[in-house]
Chain A
Amino acid sequence: MRFSAWQLLKEGLTGNKGWGAHWRDPEPKPAYDVLIIGGGGHGLATAYYLAKEHGITNVAVLEKGYIGGGNVGRNTTIVRANYGLPGNSEFYSHSLKLWEGLEADLNYNVMHSQRGIINLFHSDGARDAAARRGNAMINQGDDAVLLDRDGVRAMLPYLDYENIRFPVYGGLYHARGGTARHDAVAWGFARGADQRGVDLIQNCEVTGIDVEQGRVTGVQTTRGAIKANKVAMVTAGRSGQVAAMAGMRLPIESHILQAFVTEGLKPCIDTVITFGMGHFYISQSDKGGLVFGGDLDFYASYAARGNLPQAEHVMEAAMTLMPMIGKARVLRSWGGIMDMSPDGSPIIDTTHIDGLFLNCGWCYGGFKAVPGSGNVTAHLIATGRPHEAATKYRLDRFATGIGLMDEEGTGSQHNLH
């Protein structure tokens, strides 16, 4: 099934009764060329690009729950390319370019909306850092504008400009940043992979990874053993556990991040705003809900819900930045489990086991990475060499200390990123 204007019109006039399933529900075959563990955004995008760009279609994505039930459907949907460090800068730039062509490529409305992002700053030092970051972004070929206080006030008149502790000095504006509909991104990649022959196998938990003489030979699952000479571990917050099945210990600790959404409101916030000093960020969804969040709960957790102190902290920051938010009612909150790496940057690499690939450590920034990550991981699996946009995401950087990418300069403790 593909979408067209004609189809939309026809379905609209006939009660939307003719839309079919977006992907098949196949039984697992005994063997594939490539197995991808994890049917989140990154796993589905990897499968899609393997089929589309490398012609490798005898592929299965193994998902223990349902497609899109993990972090790809739990995040706050911010898409941007405003990273400063070499390594991150070119990767997120590559990913944003893929986003910009994604809807046409997938023939799927992922509601990618380049509504812009403003990162506020509140001191002279932070202004200098924002200017330097903006220059790095421009050098990378992306866009950045340094706004002064009046420039921010013209765009965001509802912020509290009289705040004594964190007066708004200005903001770094990234016009090509914005948001996308998270579920639709998973569905679009799922459908695109399925159409090219990839088997998406849901309710199929990987319980073991088979290794013989240093080579991966397949996996054990709740739906039986499946053979393959190439296996990719793409399991977001569960990477530590999945890698343990192959006898690996990773530089990863899993933490929860909470998110909140209010009742639907008339359009009032037309961009993404980040308030780093208060650990708060916000945007408005196309349905009208204000979507916001803050920091991690700060301790290792696999509970897909958070604790109250962090919720309270986020609400306080919201009220500090934009007192008008106090009038909105919070509808829902939830948590997602994420891999936290010691430098806050991801890992996309081969492993010491032949044929076993690793994609992990996205911390709380991996949604914007979905197309880029799938694209470069597919390249790595198909060719055995890292894609040029992802040469720095090596696993050995922690052991050697060379090429660490601590974007925020917070140090080498997992929960600080």
Chain B
Amino acid sequence: MRITCPCCGPRDLREFSYRGAASDLDRPAADAPPEDWHAYLHLRDNPAGVTRDLWYHELGCASWLVVTRNTVTHEILSCEMARDVAREAAR
């Protein structure tokens, strides 16, 4: 697997570390009900197929990235700055 960082270009998997599903960006409000926090922290869609998750370009530009990829074939479909994805969602 090679990940194409929008900032650094195609890089070896070893430069990145994985955080988990990109739903981590959808943090509930501080006063949201406990069920929302439970879903956010623990529950996952866990698809066999296309998924979006968060990676950190640890040994590169130190950006957080949203990677869209296929969990069955390991094909990487796109890679965006997490910052941009979060801003887009907030609009």
Contacts and interface: CB of A to CB of B under 8 A. Distances in A.
Interface of A: 238, 240-241, 244, 249-254, 298-303, 307, 309, 342, 398-399, 412-415
A251 B55 CA distance: 20
A240 B48 CA distance: 9
Contact of B71 (A252, A300, A415): A300
Given A249-B44, A398-B42, A412-B42, A300 B1 contact: no
B41 A342 contact: yes
B44 A307 contact: no
A251 B17 contact: no
B18 A253 contact: no
A302 B44 contact: no
Dominant secondary structure of chain A at its interface with chain B: mixed
B20 A250 contact: no
A290 B35 CA distance: 47
Contact of B34 (A244, A300, A399): A399
Contacts of A299: 18, 53, 55
A399 B71 contact: no
A252 B44 contact: yes
Nearest to A313: B14
Interface of B: 1, 12-14, 17-21, 34-35, 38-39, 41-48, 51, 53, 55, 71-74
B73 A399 contact: no
Contacts of B44: 240, 249-253, 414
Contacts of B73: 303
B20 A413 contact: yes
A413 B1 CA distance: 22
A252 B48 CA distance: 13
A237 B71 CA distance: 13
B38 to A, nearest CB: 4
Given A253-B21, A298-B17, A399-B34, A412 B74 contact: no
Contacts of A399: 34-35, 38, 42
Contacts of B41: 342, 398, 412
Given A298-B17, A309-B14, A254 B46 contact: yes
Q: Which of A253, A307, A413, A414 has the most CB of B within 10 A?
A: A253
